[in-house]
Amino acid sequence: MSKHRKPRSSRTSRTVRGLVVATAITAGVLALPAAPASAAPVTIPGVGTVEVPWLPPVPQGSAPQSPAPAVPESVVPKVPAPLYTHGQRALDAALSKLGAPYVWGAAGPDSFDCSGLVQWAYRQAGVSVPRTTYDQVKGGSPVGRGDLQPGDVVLFSGAEHVGLYAGDGIVVHAPTSGQPVKRAPLDSMPFFAARRY
């Protein structure tokens, strides 16, 4: 068997081939557009910084922004629900009776006097409140006028009248004969004291 040898190319053909490859590379490099002045550098971990011509440049002194990673729901803190107090429940009950008639000595569910409305509303919230204004002013905890919260019991005119604080300077009360349960400005009556049950 004879040995097969690869035919040797001539020196001329090698030179021509090298010239063709070199020309193609040079033509390709010359044909590539230069990176525009607006190319932005991008840092790729483990690779380095690379100019990317189609990205706008990053202003001097600021780092490129990357999207925030998704945070698992188990890590997001839960915001507690608003506190729903006995006072708020009593206020909601009293608000449900807006327009109900005033009847002296009545404590609901269809008609009320001032202290009867307060007692009935708190009963709906599961809290026992005394029947008369003079006893209501002695119960619960004292509250300053500047610390009123919705549902606080507000007494007027030396504890002769009472209502529930509704927030924003408003009370809900059963005013007097001929006037139904309604809202009124806190300042429309002489403030005496406030209690929180």
Tell me which amino acid residue 55 is.
L
Catalytic residue among 90, 91, 93, 114: 114
Catalytic residue among 91, 115, 172, 173: 173
Q: Two tokens at 120?
A: 């009935």
Residues 185, 147: Cα–Cα separation, whole Å: 16
Q: CB of 120 within 8 A of CB of 109?
A: yes
At residue 95's C-alpha, the angle toward residues 160 and 153, to 5°, is 35
Whose tokens are 């044909």? That residue is 31
- Radius of gyration of the chain, Cα coordinates, nearest whole angstrom: 42
Let me know if 4 is a catalytic residue. Answer: no
Catalytic residue among 137, 140, 148, 161: 161
Let me know if 114 is a catalytic residue. Answer: yes
Q: CB of 102 within 8 A of CB of 96?
A: no
Residues 22, 172: Cα–Cα separation, whole Å: 94
Q: Please give the positions annotated as active site.
A: 114, 161, 173
